[in-house]
Amino acid sequence: MSGLLEIEGVWKHYHRHSVLRGIDLSVDSHEVVCLIGASGSGKSTLLRCVNLLETVDDGAIRLDGTEITDVRANPDDVRKRIGMVFQSYNLFPYMTVLDNITLAPRKVHGVGRAQAEEQARELLSRFGLDGRAAAYPDRLSGGQQQRVAIIRALATRPRLLLLDEVTSALDPALVAEVLEIIRELKESGMTMILATHEMGFARDIADKVCFLSEGVLLEQGTAEQIFTDPREPRTREFLRRVLGARRI
Amino acid sequence: MNDPSIEPGGTSTAEDPAASTAGWAKSERQRERERLRRRMDLRSSSVATVSTIVFFVLVIWLVTASPGWPRVKETFFDLGQFTDAFPDVLRGFLLNIKIFLIAEPLILIVGLVVALVRNLHAPVFFPLRSLAVLYTDVFRGVPTILVIYLVGFGLPALRLQGMPSDFATLGVIALTLSYGAYVAEVFRSGIESVHPSQRAAARSLGLTHGQTMRFVVLPQAVRRVVPPLLNDFVSLQKDTALVATIGPLEALRQAQIHAAETFNYTPYLAAALLFILLTIPMARFTDYLSARSQRRRGM
């Protein structure tokens, strides 16, 4: 009961529709959690709630033991400790790769330019993007852009990294290079929550897999348990369809 | 955002039970959170009220404490002069509104046509295109008041058959020429802001350049430029007063006449008030439109 992130009874309504219906989830330090489920099941909304991009309509979320959904909490302070990567990269197109990465460390965390750039170059070379620092995002492939977006999120040294379907906009040949980074992050001990459609990858990397259906967290367990012996019929049905489609 | 219209479990729609908040019973925590949020809202609106009052009291004190205030009060804020001049100024103001209402649609037409001509890329249209460029360059460059003088006194001097000699009409022509150039640029930037992929998609379906413009590009472009267009129209409403310089008895001219008789400037204040009353609804409408488009983009 003292995980890094505690999600307790979270509800979210859009108009007259509940997209999250009482989600409970606990994430420990260094744990990798994969959220799976059909489009519209609430995976992305849950991540956006954790990053306070959405206001929860009931329930609470705690990070390091303090409630971040508290009305008096400063969202900017919360977001300093959480990194997020989006499906469509969301890089700033008018900035070079280096400026994209150093923006938050310099402006939010008060790191000096020289130090921020040195750190950015280090990250770039660690993730195989040497020599790309001065390029603008539209000069890069989708896979490279997404790697830059991950580095941008890492540059602020977050306690927790949220990855929202980060490979969904990439063509298959480029997916591997992004997944490789995530795998490396897991090895370095980064705590992550991923919303993903990559079942094989989820099975491979996740410490915990959560199946969401219509805003309900129907089932959670180890990757092994969810993929080989799901308890819920709806999980079974979902996996059968997704994995079946993969074989065609 | 929090939608207050949703009550726990109460508003489930019969036809689609999944698309409802059924099963949600508002927790004590959420109740407490909403109470707290209301309290914080109340506090911030009280702060806003107090700071607004303090600000205005300060400004009024500063103005009324200035050494020249008694004199200014006499010449600019004379209630008797105000009521004397107001009917004439108001009658003049109706002419301003008339000029505005006639000029506005004309400006929209001129602006759109010029913008479309500037977007014709075929070589045949080069003369038309350069004419459009010349037009926008010239009329955006020349001060509106000069255009009004040149049109007002220059056009009738040509003594052409059927040339209007009425100064209000000449004023409308001058304003249309001047503002048409601005509005053309607004339309053009709107057209260019539509992503090229939209054009590619339309052309790939076999639509011609004209059809692409008409059915795909313009509907998106016009929606985007409505706020800047309304901004230009607020400006146009004021600039109808410039027509006073060539003679028609609109609001400013009426105020001038009254002021010249009495050496009291209160009639100008009356005219200014009328212009403000006209532009404020337009400004709020612009705000409303941009707020709506923000909401649509889900921000």
Report the alpha-carbon distance of residue B132 to residue B116 in Å, rounded.
Answer: 9
Extract the tokens encoding B140: 């955006």
- Nearest C-alpha of chain B: how many angstroms from A71? 6
At residue B19, the pLDDT reads 53
**Cβ atoms of residues B299 and B258 within 8 Å:** no
What is the mean pLDDT of the segment spanning B101-121?
93
Interval A212-238: pLDDT, tens: 999 999 999 999 999 999 999 999 999
Instruction: Report how far residue B192's alpha carbon sits from residue B186's, in angstroms, rounded to the nearest whole number.
Output: 10
Minimal C-alpha gap between B73 and chain A (Å) = 49
A58–B27 CB contact, under 8 Å: yes
What CA–CA distance (Å, rounded) separates A239 from B218? Answer: 46
Closest-CA residue of B relative to A16 is B20
Calculate the alpha carbon distances from B197 to A89, B200, B206, B209, B240 in Å. 20, 5, 14, 14, 41
Q: How far apart are CA A7 and CA A211, in angstroms?
A: 15
Mean pLDDT of B49-74: 92
Q: Do B3 and A13 touch (CB under 8 A)?
A: yes
Per-residue confidence (pLDDT) for residue A212, from 0 to 100: 95
Helical pair B251-262 and B79-118, crossing angle rounded to 10 deg: 150
pLDDT at A207 over 70: yes
CA-wise closest residue to B220 among B181, B202, B185, B193: B193
pLDDT band at residue A2 under the 50/70/90 scheme: low
Average pLDDT estimate for B179-196: 93
Contact predicate A119/A196, CB 8 Å: no
* Between B264 and A189, the higher pLDDT residue: A189
How many A-B residue pairs are in contact by the CB < 8 A criterion?
51
Task: Tell me whether residue B152 is exposed, middle or buried, using C-beta atoms within 10 angstroms of its C-beta: 0 to 12, 13 to 18, 19 or more.
Answer: buried
Distance from CA of B151 to the nearest CA of A (A): 45
Cα–Cα dist A8/A62, whole Å: 8
Instruction: Give the C-alpha separation, B19 to A19, whole Å.
Output: 9
The label of the residue with tokens 């979320």 reads A61
Q: What's the longest Cα–Cα distance across chain B? A: 83
- Partners of B40 on chain A (C-beta within 8 Å) are 71-72
C-alpha closest to that of B97 among B224, B222, B243: B243
Q: What is the pLDDT of residues B134-181, one digit of tens each?
A: 999 999 999 999 999 999 888 888 877 777 778 888 999 999 999 999
Distance from B20 to chain A by nearest Cα, in Å?
4
Residue B11 confidence (pLDDT) above 90: no
pLDDT of residue B6 exceeding 60, the answer is: no
Residue B87's pLDDT is what?
A: 86
Point out the residue among A55, A58, A60 whose CB comes nearest to the CB of B24. Answer: A58
Residue A137, both tokens: 């995002």
Tokens 């999250």 belong to which residue?
A: A20
Q: Would you place residue B5 in the very low, low, confident or very high pLDDT band (cuts 50, 70, 90)?
A: very low
Q: Do residues A41 and A213 make contact, with C-beta atoms less than 8 angstroms apart?
A: yes
Calculate what percentage of chain B has a pLDDT beyond 90: 40
Give the pLDDT mean for B99-116: 94
Chain B closest-CA separation from residue A125 CA (Å): 35
Q: Identify the weakest region by mean pLDDT among A75-79, B7-11, B129-133.
A: B7-11
Least confident of A32-41, A201-210, B94-103, B290-299: B290-299
B215: confidence class by pLDDT, cuts 50, 70, 90: very high
User: Does B299 have pLDDT greater than 80?
Assistant: no
Nearest CA in chain B to A55: B1
Residue with the larger pLDDT of the pair B187 and B6: B187
Q: Helix A142-154 crosses helix A97-107 at what angle (to 10 degrees)? A: 20
DSSP one-letter string for chain A: ---SEEEEEEEEEETTEEEEEEEEEEE-TT-EEEEE-STTSSHHHHHHHHTTSS--SEEEEEETTEETT-TTS-HHHHHHTEEEE-TT----TTS-HHHHHHHHHHHTS---HHHHHHHHHHHHHHTT-TT-TT--GGGS-HHHHHHHHHHHHHTT--SEEEEESTTTTS-HHHHHHHHHHHHHHHHTT-EEEEE-S-HHHHHHH-SEEEEEETTEEEEEE-HHHHHHS-SSHHHHHHHHHHHHHHH-
Higher pLDDT, B112 or B259: B112
The residue of chain A nearest to residue B7, with distances taken between CA atoms, is A16
Share of chain B above pLDDT 70, in %: 93
Three-state secondary structure call for residue B26: coil
The answer, yes or no, to whether residue B1 has pLDDT greater than 70, is no
Q: Which two tokens stand for residue B286?
A: 């612009």
pLDDT of residue A220: 94
Contact A72 B36 (CB under 8 A): yes
Contacts of A16 in chain B (CB under 8 A): 5-6, 11, 13, 19-21
Chain B residues with CB inside 8 Å of A216's CB?
A: none
Contacts of A76 (CB under 8 A, 6+ apart): A108
Q: How far apart are CA B236 and CA B158, in angstroms?
A: 27
